[in-house]
Structure 1
Amino acid sequence: MSSPERLRVLLIIEQCNPDWASVPLEGYNYYCGIARHADVHLVTHGRNAPALSRTTDTQITYIYEGVLSKRYYKLVDGLTARGRVNWPLRNALAYPIYEEFNRQVCRRFSPNVERGDYDLVHAITPMMPRYPVAIHRACLQTPFLLGPVNGGVPFPPGFGKIARQESAQFNFLRAVGRSLLPDYVATYKNAHKILAGSTYTLELLKRLFAIPDERVELFYENGIDACFLDPRAPSVSEDGRVRLLFVGRLVPYKGADMILDAIANLDPTVRDRLVLTIVGDGSERSRLEEVVRDRGLNASRLTVEFAGWVPQAKTLEYYRRADIFCFPSIREFGGAVVLEAMACGLPCIVVDNGGIGEYVTEQNGYKIAPTSRAEVVTLLEQHISTLVTNNKLRAQMSEQAIARAREFTWSHKSEQLLSIYRELIVSCRAK
């Protein structure tokens, strides 16, 4: 092993891109954090080369897809993106594209791993717990770390209509993949350690693969940039109204329509004291705008404003102008927007089904059990009303939200990972 200060790490992050949102941006943040503490050799897809070449000078190997894969991707995109994206089918059909990357990584780096060129191999993306990582076969003497993997969260029973809209009937393909994909079960059985991005996924992996407790660990998927914690005086709207914020894709399961229904049901004296800003775009936007018109929410004064799609770097401005964050997504794996809102001191109202329910506590917000749509709307109405009318409680929750968010900075998470690396290396050498 190299010196205690600098470990040699082979980092496999197929999706690693600072210019894109969601998992590619998470992959990039993990890479940057780990590279500050270790000698990293990053392996990623060639599609990330233009963005990464502007931001880093560390050792990177790009894996490019072949001509047939490019053509096949266009076919998959055409089959699954008609109207609303059929994600379960898309993820299943796209497997051969990932497998080309997976196979090339294994072929090109297995000799290096077997020779002991690295102290540890860490595969981070894809984060969904449905893809194998073939290079685990070369990790007989070198520790192989997988994750954080996150996903598999089902739709709540009371939201069958939304589940059908999101093509949940195709989720059986997950089980088919576990049975048929080469190396899938072996990846989890042979990993020296697995990081699970949520408690649900942790229990799912233990159940599916009979993984003992010492080989799986809860490690939340998302992190936040330290700039979100930059202290500054809270903004106050010119008219003194309380600003409610939603940030996310406008698709059925994200629940923006339930916020509109809750606001429409508020006592008029409370409703007149707030304004909701919806940041994001998607297939539901026109329907949401229609709900605003039909419910007369902007009849006498602006109560709901649509900001549309906003670049990731610009969302911070909206968080800092807001007072409360509302994100009733009924099925959320990571929910980075909740952490970002908390870091900016916003009490959060969320639905408790997936990772976001683990960020929010009684001290920094409210989490709602997804028993039914009507129940969620009722509790949204109650919690919004409480936070709009109780300035003291809102201020207390704001302080607690910031304190909680400090646990999730990327710098803190990278330090945690380095500790996991060292413990894993020592453990494997002792066997």
Structure 2
Amino acid sequence: MKKKLKVLLIIEQCNPEWSSVPLVGYNYYKEISQLVDCTLVTHGRNEEALQKFPEHKNIIYIHEGSFSPIYHKLVSSITFQGRVNWPLYNALCYPIYEEFNNQVYQQFHISVSKGDYDIVHAITPMMPRYPVKIIKACHNTPFLLGPVNGGVPFPPGFQKVARQEFAYFNFLRAVGRALIPGYVETYQQADKVLSGSTYTLNWLKDTFSIPDNRISLFYENGIKQEFIETQNAPKNLNYINLLFVGRLVPYKGADMLLEAISQLDQEIQNKIRLTIVGDGSEKKPLEQQVKELKLESLVKFTGWVKSQDIVQYYKNSDIFCFPSIREFGGAVVLEAMACGLPCIVVNNGGIGEYVTEETGFRIEPSSREYVVREVADKIQILVNDQTLRNQMSFKCVERVKDFEWGRKAEKIREIYEDLVKQKADKTLNSDLALKKVEA
């Protein structure tokens, strides 16, 4: 039996009870730990949630100092003003991450230098903003980074939304690259970088001069096996059920979806119902928009729904409408596809790569007016063509199987094995070259 690789897995955000990046980090850990001899290093804030699973062993928790919670409250008070200023928040949170980063280095640099691990893999933070200091100890141990994702710009025709989302603070990314110690070196020295979208991959290659053989496309999001469609719930045959799932913030485009529905012929409107699952700063303006467009009989808002309960909304729906104009990962699209829902999305970021011509429609973000018009057109096509809906539904389920977490972990293990072999070959060639010189 082949010996399991010994892996140091660094996932600062790793929590099964949270959403977004912490949940993604946890899903990677859960599946990877079943395939390798894994030591997980994570932040102390995740300890309570992870300890509820006795099967999770060999976890090292890095606890923050007494000043960090105070500093985080200060950052939150500055950046959470009705709507979150994420570019500023991420920049100001660097000292909190750096405390974790330094402690990981202090605790593990000796063992990594000695070769106690076959590979070191850092998964979070997923945004390409911060360094990973332990790479300094990876002299003979392969270092894998990612998948990292982010940096996707707002489309030129959506500058009003960009301002609402504080895009004018994005200059802080370049400031960080110039000022944060070890940031550039992390990307330039990593044995392999995994990127979560084609845009980010090309940006990383150009920004850090990473050669093709050291960077690969690897979508960061996945789907649970039990989520993948086996049997849909009985549908309401009186209507075609449209679904939107996401935070109700400007760039997610729920307002464009409502406007698109208002432009549909009455005959089509009579055939559809829309459910909007989620909460956020735009909920009240969206509810007001529904009233102004006289769509009260067609649209229902659920508010925030627990992640484990959302699946029922997918299974009760027929079409997924998600005109987000700037999406890095877009896990909700994978969830919808897993439940057999043809998807209507905007082609900017990761979601435009999940959806193919066989599984839905990708709309170019030329302008707000164009997106609204195209969303209305694609809804009409799918409402009128049940055969097309059924064909796309089947293809969605087939497509999403490649994103199942277990399969993704298997691919990660294959990357581990390749990196270990490459490092061993490189070391052997160096030793042979040295012996020739000495001879």
Q: TM-score, normalised by structure 2?
A: 0.96
- Alpha-carbon distance between aligned partners in 2 of 1:63 and 1:99, rounded to the nearest angstrom: 12
- Report matched runs for 1:209-248 at 5 Å: 209-237=208-236, 240-248=238-246
**Match for residue 18 of structure 1 among 9, 16, 19:** 16
Q: For residue 312 of structure 1, what is the aligned residue in structure 2?
A: 307
Q: For residue 122 of structure 1, what is the aligned residue in structure 2?
A: 121
Once the two structures are superposed, residues 96-148 of structure 1 have per-residue CA deviations (whole angstroms, 9 ceiling, x without a partner) of 00000000001110011011111000000000001100000000000000000
- Alpha-carbon distance between aligned partners in 2 of 1:235 and 1:258, rounded to the nearest angstrom: 29
**In the alignment, is the contact (CA less than 8 A) between 2:232 and 2:315 conserved in 1?**
no
SS in 2 for 1:407: helix
Q: For residue 82 of structure 1, what is the aligned residue in structure 2?
A: 81
Q: For residue 403 of structure 2, what is the aligned residue in structure 1?
A: 408
Task: Tell me the number of residue pairs that the alignment of Structure 1 and Structure 2 aligns.
Answer: 425
- Alpha-carbon distance between aligned partners in 2 of 1:233 and 1:166, rounded to the nearest angstrom: 37
User: What amino acid does structure 2 have at the position aligned with 1:374?
Assistant: E
Cα RMSD over matched residues? 0.8
SS in 2 for 1:423: helix
SS in 1 for 2:273: strand
- Alpha-carbon distance between aligned partners in 2 of 1:198 and 1:5, rounded to the nearest angstrom: 33
Q: For residue 164 of structure 1, what is the aligned residue in structure 2?
A: 163
Once the two structures are superposed, residues 61-115 of structure 1 have per-residue CA deviations (whole angstroms, 9 ceiling, x without a partner) of 0001111111111110000001100000000001000000000001110011011
User: What amino acid does structure 1 have at the position aligned with 2:18?
Assistant: W
**Match for residue 261 of structure 1 among 259, 268, 272:** 259
**In the alignment, is the contact (CA less than 8 A) between 1:6 and 1:37 conserved in 2?**
yes
- Alpha-carbon distance between aligned partners in 2 of 1:134 and 1:187, rounded to the nearest angstrom: 8
SS in 1 for 2:238: coil
Aligned CA distance change for structure 1 residues 233 and 76 (closer, same or farther; 3 Å): closer
Q: TM-score, normalised by structure 1?
A: 0.98
Determine what percentage of the aligned residue pairs are the same residue. Answer: 59
User: What amino acid does structure 2 have at the position aligned with 1:12?
Assistant: I
Shift of 1:204: 0.4
Q: For residue 286 of structure 2, what is the aligned residue in structure 1?
A: 288
Once the two structures are superposed, residues 398-418 of structure 1 have per-residue CA deviations (whole angstroms, 9 ceiling, x without a partner) of 000001000100000000000
Shift of 1:230: 4.1
- Alpha-carbon distance between aligned partners in 1 of 2:381 and 2:227, rounded to the nearest angstrom: 26
- Alpha-carbon distance between aligned partners in 1 of 2:242 and 2:382, rounded to the nearest angstrom: 10
- Alpha-carbon distance between aligned partners in 1 of 2:316 and 2:228, rounded to the nearest angstrom: 14
Q: For residue 152 of structure 2, what is the aligned residue in structure 1?
A: 153
- Report matched runs for 1:30-429 at 5 Å: 30-55=28-53, 56-237=55-236, 240-298=238-296, 302-429=297-424
SS in 2 for 1:353: coil
Shift of 1:4: 3.3
Once the two structures are superposed, residues 131-175 of structure 1 have per-residue CA deviations (whole angstroms, 9 ceiling, x without a partner) of 100000000000000000000000001000000000000000000
User: What amino acid does structure 1 have at the position aligned with 2:368?
Assistant: R
**In the alignment, is the contact (CA less than 8 A) between 1:5 and 1:37 conserved in 2?**
no
- Alpha-carbon distance between aligned partners in 1 of 2:76 and 2:225, rounded to the nearest angstrom: 36
User: What amino acid does structure 2 have at the position aligned with 1:142?
Assistant: T
User: What amino acid does structure 2 have at the position aligned with 1:265?
Assistant: Q
**In the alignment, is the contact (CA less than 8 A) between 2:232 and 2:316 conserved in 1?**
no
**In the alignment, is the contact (CA less than 8 A) between 2:104 and 2:134 conserved in 1?**
yes
**In the alignment, is the contact (CA less than 8 A) between 2:245 and 2:332 conserved in 1?**
yes
- Alpha-carbon distance between aligned partners in 2 of 1:234 and 1:45, rounded to the nearest angstrom: 39
Shift of 1:5: 4.0
SS in 2 for 1:245: strand
Gaps of 5+ in 2: 427-439
- Alpha-carbon distance between aligned partners in 1 of 2:268 and 2:279, rounded to the nearest angstrom: 27
Once the two structures are superposed, residues 298-337 of structure 1 have per-residue CA deviations (whole angstroms, 9 ceiling, x without a partner) of 2xxx200001100000010100000000111000000000
**In the alignment, is the contact (CA less than 8 A) between 2:251 and 2:324 conserved in 1?**
yes
**In the alignment, is the contact (CA less than 8 A) between 1:224 and 1:340 conserved in 2?**
yes
Once the two structures are superposed, residues 384-405 of structure 1 have per-residue CA deviations (whole angstroms, 9 ceiling, x without a partner) of 0111111000000000000100
**In the alignment, is the contact (CA less than 8 A) between 2:153 and 2:326 conserved in 1?**
yes
Shift of 1:234: 5.0
Shift of 1:57: 3.1
SS in 1 for 2:83: coil
User: What amino acid does structure 2 have at the position aligned with 1:284?
Assistant: E
Gaps of 5+ in 1: none
Shift of 1:250: 0.2
Shift of 1:42: 0.2
Shift of 1:280: 0.2
**In the alignment, is the contact (CA less than 8 A) between 1:365 and 1:397 conserved in 2?**
yes
